[in-house]
Amino acid sequence: MIANTPKPPYYAVVFTSVLSEKNTEYDKMAAKMNLLAKEQDGFLGVETAREGVGITVSYWKNRTAIKKWKAHLAHSEARKKGKEEWYKLFKVRICKVESDYSFEKLNK
Amino acid sequence: MIANTPKPPYYAVVFTSVLSEKNTEYDKMAAKMNLLAKEQDGFLGVETAREGVGITVSYWKNRTAIKKWKAHLAHSEARKKGKEEWYKLFKVRICKVESDYSFEKLNK
């Protein structure tokens, strides 16, 4: 659920989106793309939640890996379909993760 | 819903969390902290969604603004309470947003 990423630096792609309408076809495509992303070189993990706005943060070894995934044919086709049919708006931010820290409750 | 951030570079804090149990007290505190964050120098916007995992991405002008917000008394107290009572685990990633792009459907 929370991605087990390596020690920084690495990269994050923050993808925030609003759908025209939520539908099962979109959910299927999103799940398929997440599975496909996991097979790509340099993929480190992904976290996703939708509650009105959808936020998907995927983690990558470097910008080259992000670029390759963007150019992947099935991913390009899914994005095209997303723009035509599902997304009302979205924003993509390419980020360098400079530092991180975490917390885990031990007695739970 | 999607933060209207300026031209990069700027900073993002990706806060991913899993709650021990969802409760209204937590929701109130989270809403209060989001309001308070908006008053801070260098705050640029925030996006949040919870669906199993909670993802809150806040945007900041620079690392100094992030540091100041982390040191803010009310925020420190809320984090302490969060660790004691609400969070099962969380991860915080400090990121430099290097580039972004967006899409908006015009006829909707």
| DSSP character string of B30-89 | HHHHHHHHHTSTTEEEEEEEEESEEEEEEEESSHHHHHHHHH-HHHHHHHHHIIIIIEEE
Q: Name the token pair of A78.
A: 């899914």
Max CA separation in chain B (angstroms): 48
Q: Tens digits of per-residue pLDDT, A4-33?
A: 999 999 999 999 999 998 688 999 999 999
Q: Inspect the interface and report whether the beta carbons of B99 and A93 lie closer than 8 Å.
A: yes
- Residues in chain A closer than 8 A to B14 (CB atoms): 12, 14, 57, 95, 97
Q: Name the token pair of A46.
A: 């992904």
User: Are B9 and A95 spatial neighbours (Cβ–Cβ below 8 Å)?
Assistant: no
Q: Which residue is listed with tokens 């505190």? A: B29
Q: Which residues between 70 and 99 in chain A have a beta carbon less than 8 angstroms from any beta carbon of chain B? A: 83, 87-99
- Residues in chain A closer than 8 A to B93 (CB atoms): 5, 8, 12, 97, 99-100
Residue of B nearest to A107 (CA): B88
Domains along chain A with CATH numbers: 21-97 (3.30.70.100)
Bridge partners, residue A54, by sequence: A17, A50
pLDDT above 90 (res B5)? yes
User: Are B13 and B58 spatial neighbours (Cβ–Cβ below 8 Å)?
Assistant: yes
Tell me the pTM: 0.95
How many whole angstroms from its chain centre is CA B73? 17
Q: Tens digits of per-residue pLDDT, B60-98?
A: 999 999 999 999 999 999 999 999 999 999 999 999 999
- Mean pLDDT of all residues in B10-31: 92
| HSE-CB for B25 with a 13 A CA cutoff | 9
Q: Name the token pair of B71.
A: 């040191």
User: What pLDDT is stored for residue B21 in this prediction?
Assistant: 80
pLDDT above 80 (res B22)? no
Q: Inspect the interface and report whether the beta carbons of B92 and A83 lie closer than 8 Å.
A: no
Classified as helix, coil or strand, A71 is helix
Q: Which residue is listed with tokens 């937590």? A: B26
Closest residue by Cα to residue B13 from B63, B80, B72, B53: B63
- What is the interface pTM, i.e. ipTM, of the complex? 0.94
Please tell me if residue B104 touches chain A, with a CB cutoff of 8 Å. Answer: yes
Signed CA dihedral, A60, A63, A69, A75: sign only = positive
Nearest by CB: B49 against A5, A50, A94 = A50
